[in-house]
Structure 1
């Protein structure tokens, strides 16, 4: 019986268990009935009937890598609907994306938390995840790194993974700096472009609804990958970049302990990769872990030029001046180049979400509206495109809605009931999957056992009271509050899967750029002496995930041996 069919009377909650595991501070809550004994009488071999043996694991948002032990931002008390239906609810700071950007140790923590729950509370019937933004990253990435730890997931504000999200962050940083440079502002002035015209050109290059999207990335996350102490930068509504905030670092350590290329080159480096140096290793001859950010061969603004949204001179000037960053994320005139070893690890370990792995998990994707922010609708379709490329998206259900503050644009407003509906649908889905003893593959059973209420729909932006579920996806796609846009990398010709961290190159061909004069062609070719991206080919180092990997022997990981088979005595 699915827990959605009954609600357990609440006498009181079991006192929350708080403890530490794998350096994370965790909370566990479940209903407790004092008439069935005291808390010490709860035995894992005979748990109270208040627990239905189901687990809801909640993952925290954002991203970060503090070198300190902190409490989770998630609170079990906010999961009342799950608790009153008999679910056990668990959170840990090491599965909060803002407190741990090491996706492998995050997944390990999830595994250890489940083990502790089994040892202390009893066998788990099934586990489902929930979480927005960075919480969606951790659900999807853990399902790629170690399929089966979560039986079903409910991402909202969805990103498939952190590495490919970082691609857009890096692109937006480059573009925002370029738009603030004399090369662009001078060109806009020479062409007598208005502010509105300038903004429209930026939006076309960025692929977003408007020019604000890349600025939102700049203001929110460009500092997250800085290795040392830095002054946070902010871009204003006029495109001007300032440093209004005090010096900080991503390790949340005293400044004297943190890396500085001159005064403390051996200090703690605070990038996501350095936080997970046991996974990524170090670039030979250095003290730093490899970055996966790369824009060699990327022809920015290509589709904007082809559509006429920007002219030839703007297109060439953009690519001449957008530049890149060095290993300390200091802006450079040269493009950013990622070491091959780091790219291979990202794919092989499942850190870039692998759709073949994700196909083993039911996904309820609840997508809100944040097109001028950072949580873009196209990300859900990027996830779907990866699944389609791997065999189909029958395990992915997408619900779209439009809401503006204070109604709530990222997470569904309570009036819609969407959060509860998603939870109940997933519970029903997993109950059916658990009861399915057929010989079909797991992927096939997931699709076959999908409940009737788990279908794609949207609420149109005009439907402010969430009355009509629209199943015509074409109608959803043209609604201004639901329409997916794209990204700088897609405008440059990249696929919507956006899982190519570093592209393979092909020779520069003048015939690919009609509309450029001879001088402009010479200038553009000079930007790409080794060629431009060939988006018809897999990325450099791109390969199927072999996860879960064993990192006992060191960075890079090794495939696990064949699983042992139990035999009756």
Structure 2
């Protein structure tokens, strides 16, 4: 199996400050008593689930006489006093707007109203601001061991729900809601096992590990709450070392665990349930984090392998954190932690929703997912070209795999096993990215696990037949669709001169440069795509625009693809592109150096994010530091150090000395630390110690002239005559008259001018 902002809550405050006497709370006639109402769990306009944690602040003597009124009726939620404030969870909110008033119980009629706010309540199933929800949408709580979802309609909409005994269809679940559930698990030193509180504390399992709380060794038992919010499955975990759960082991800090992958929606994902939902780094890091007293929250809606709608992820995180605050109280701060797509979420949440996270440790990050699709869309095009070139001429220079780096920019190897051929020699484009582009771009490619899940849950045949499996269609609420139901996309390579830098440096000749650019082509329009036959067509060439006579100067060059201008604008407007303009939280961008493995999580991405920050907001750039480790194991150890540094930063309100760029070797020993260790990557200084130890590679677009920012979807074009005159092709790359004519045929509208802004 598998930034729109809502309406602001209105506030009505009567009068000014009051001097309270020891005898009571009477005030001068022109100075009525004053209190302040606020919502702690969310913004007032983004309340969900019918309840909210609220606060009343006033002078202590006045607090004694404050009463609360909800929608014109008195209410009495349990409120805990903390000096000049009291807080508690207000229930009974209706969907839509609710007026909450604080009144003075002993005041005159003129002074009765102290403060009022409007709380706008939304369903716990969502949405808050992301618009209509997807159908079909496969509920997966059963796979998480959390049972079937609740029936919420008998109209055949959503997920079928059956009587477990008789197999009879009971109805359907549109919202995938499940009852809240509490489970306990204990850590045995290597993993988690179910724990029975009724007997386990008195008669502990023999392999029960311990941890230290307030200086004393206690049983390493974790209480896990699971449920559904915004149609996704959340979990909340924290230490519960004694039979009475009183939160005493919680350090009042929250880690929001964000997971990676690339998904195309239409499914709920599975819960991070502690006896069957953890793997890899989760099993290595979570025990260490929980042992220190952090609470850890996660949601399947914050797993990029479930979907890559960052507004939906943001909405889910808002609602899930809101629930945490209502249930357990407001944390001192919230730290994001997670890799790949989980790291992307940290960058984009910081940009799009200030206050959601207070700091973060993005691991194996990208600035965003969408700008990655631009150079990665080049990979299959170039891979198919190299394949054709070698097929036509086994002595082709492209038969030496490492030479392909000249055009693709990414690393390549003559010895690493090829993920397609199974023989030595391959590239990052193939081993790192070969599955990424078709699964995001091809509307006909459906992960077979979707059909397996639909069959397992007894969906009717053809339930998924009308889904178009692209990232852009998954975000149809943002991009819109055409008359055939296809969403426009941002992929564009008009004017891109592949291999330009290699030509200018004299590393390929003019004829080869022209052949590449005449033959590479572009992707077809969405309506023309066919299903991907991966084994027979590993590069998805059937969906490329390729010229049959492209190698002949007299032939017709393969057509390029123009990205949709409106879609590019919507990508920026919706916050799916990290621009670097706003980053007000500290981030430690941490990654193992995986270039030798040709892994897709290349180290260039951290510097792409920094380059955007430096261009847009140098003050924000000071909030990001880059840590690189020589191996996965050393990176995992660094992750705990990074969490501690971010914790100290937030506790002190200033950057500690350890919040600085650094790199370590595979064994965990420091190579270099300090502001100059990455010199030579984003400046013209001599290479720093870390830059030497861990060299950064580029991309097809960087070889074609784009900067390391990598944020241009559609380049500005300049006339070919201008490019020929301005030195674009280097002193050693003169063209003959015939080659100039071929160049003009390949680029009739001009070539990319990356010195101009382009669409970004």
TM-score by length of 2: 0.59
The C-alpha deviation readout for 1:145-187, integer Å capped at 9, x for no partner, is 2222111111111111000111122011211111112xx2367
Give me the whole-angstrom Cα distance separating, in 2, the residues matched to 1:352 and 1:256: 37
Q: What is the aligned counterpart of 1:345 among 551, 567, 570?
A: 570
Q: Could you say which residue in structure 2 is the equivalent of 1:498? A: 710
Aligned partners of 2:670, 2:690: CA distance in 1, in Å? 18
Aligned match of 2:617: 391
Correspondence for 1:34 among 217, 234, 242: 242
Distance in 1, Cα, partners of 2:522 & 2:446: 19
Alpha-carbon separation, structure 2, partners of 1:227 and 1:536: 32
Q: Does 1:318 align with 2:533?
A: no
- Which residue of structure 2 lines up, in the alignment, with residue 271 of structure 1? 470
What do the CA deviations read for 1:302-347 (whole angstroms, capped 9, x no partner)? 0011112221111101110111112335211321211111111111
Separation in 2, partners of 1:178, 1:127: 48
Residues 250 and 306 from structure 1, CA distance in 2 versus in 1: closer, same or farther, beyond 3 angstroms?
A: farther
Trace 1:15-414 onto structure 2 (pairs within 5 A).
15-34=223-242, 38-39=244-245, 48-72=247-271, 75=278, 78-181=285-388, 184-185=389-390, 188-189=393-394, 192-193=395-396, 198-210=400-412, 212-230=427-445, 257=462, 267-283=466-482, 285-328=483-526, 330-333=543-546, 334-357=559-582, 359-371=583-595, 372-392=598-618, 393-403=621-631, 408=632, 412-413=634-635
CA contact (8 A) 1:305 1:312 kept: yes
Q: Secondary structure at the match of 2:377?
A: helix
Query: Residues 448-527 of structure 1: matches in 2 within 5 Å?
Result: 449-460=654-665, 464-471=667-674, 472-473=677-678, 474-479=687-692, 482-509=694-721, 510-511=724-725, 512-513=728-729, 514-527=733-746
Any conservation in 2 of the 1:230–1:248 contact (CA below 8 Å)?
Answer: no
Secondary structure in structure 2 of the residue aligned to 1:278: helix
Indicate which of 391, 414, 422 corresponds to 2:642: 422
Runs of 4+ in 1 over 6 A off after TM superposition: 4-8, 247-252
User: For each residue in 1:413-443, what CA deviation from the matched residue of structure 2 results, as whole angstroms up to 9, or x when unmatched?
Assistant: 55xx31111010011111122xxxxxxxxxx
Larger Cα-atom Rg: 2
Contact 1:18 1:25 in 2 (8 A): yes
Between the two proteins, the alignment pairs up a number of residues equal to: 476
User: 1:297·1:505 contact (CA, 8 Å) conserved in 2?
Assistant: yes
Structure in which a larger fraction of residues adopt helix: 1
Distance 1:5 1:470, change over 3 A: farther
Whole-angstrom CA distance in 2 between matches of 1:12 and 1:209: 44
After TM superposition, give the deviation of residue 291 of structure 1 in Å.
Answer: 1.0
CA separation of 1:339 and 1:418: change in aligned 2, threshold 3 A? same
Q: Deviations over 1:112-145 (max 9, x none)?
A: 1110001111112211111111221122122222
In structure 1, C-alpha distance between the alignment counterparts of 2:225 and 2:446, rounded to whole Å: 39
How far apart are the structure 2 equivalents of 1:127 and 1:397? 19
Report the more deviating stretch, 204-213 or 511-520: 511-520
Whether the 8 Å contact between 2:568 and 2:713 is mirrored in structure 1 is yes
Mark the CA change 1:536 to 1:385 in structure 2 (over 3 Å): closer, same or farther.
Answer: same
User: Structure 1 pair 389/304, CA: closer, same or farther in 2 (3 Å)?
Assistant: same
CA contact (8 A) 2:263 2:306 kept: yes
1:533 aligned partner: 752
CA–CA distance in 1 between the matches of 2:506 and 2:393?
Answer: 16
Secondary structure of 1:129's counterpart equals strand
The 8 Å contact of residues 201 and 309 in structure 1, kept in 2 or not, is answered as: no
User: What CA deviation, in whole Å up to 9, does each residue of 1:29-59 have, x standing for no partner?
Assistant: 0122536xx44xx5xxxxx232222110111
Of the two structures, which has the highest relative contact order with CA contacts closer than 8 Å and spacing of 6 or more?
1
Asked if the contact 1:8/1:84 (under 8 Å) is kept, the reply is no
SS in 2 for 1:101: coil
In structure 1, the residue corresponding to 2:435 is in which secondary structure?
helix
User: What does the per-residue CA deviation read over 1:442-471, in whole Å, with 9 as the maximum and x for residues that have no partner?
Assistant: xxxxxxx1111111111256xx35254444
Structure 1 residue 24: Cα displacement: 1.0
Q: Distance in 2 between matches of 1:517 and 1:425?
A: 59
- Tell me the distance in 1 between the aligned counterparts of 2:463 and 2:499: 37
Aligned-pair CA distance for 1:207: 0.7
Q: Indicate if the aligned counterparts of 1:55 and 1:89 stay in contact, CA closer than 8 A.
A: yes
| Shift in CA distance, 29/7, structure 1 to aligned 2, threshold 3 Å | farther
Q: Gapped runs of 5+ residues in structure 1?
A: 43-47, 233-246, 434-448, 543-569
In the alignment, what sits opposite 1:560?
none
| Whole-angstrom CA distance in 2 between matches of 1:361 and 1:250 | 41
- Report deviation, 1:384: 0.8
| Structural RMSD (CA) | 2.7
C-alpha distance in 2 between matches for 1:258 and 1:533: 44
Q: Structure 2: state its 5+ residue gaps.
A: 1-211, 413-425, 530-542, 547-558, 679-686
Distance 1:432 1:5 in 2: 22
Deviation (angstroms), 1:256: 6.1
What SS does structure 2 have at the residue aligned with 1:490?
Answer: helix
TM-score computed with the length of structure 1 as normaliser: 0.78
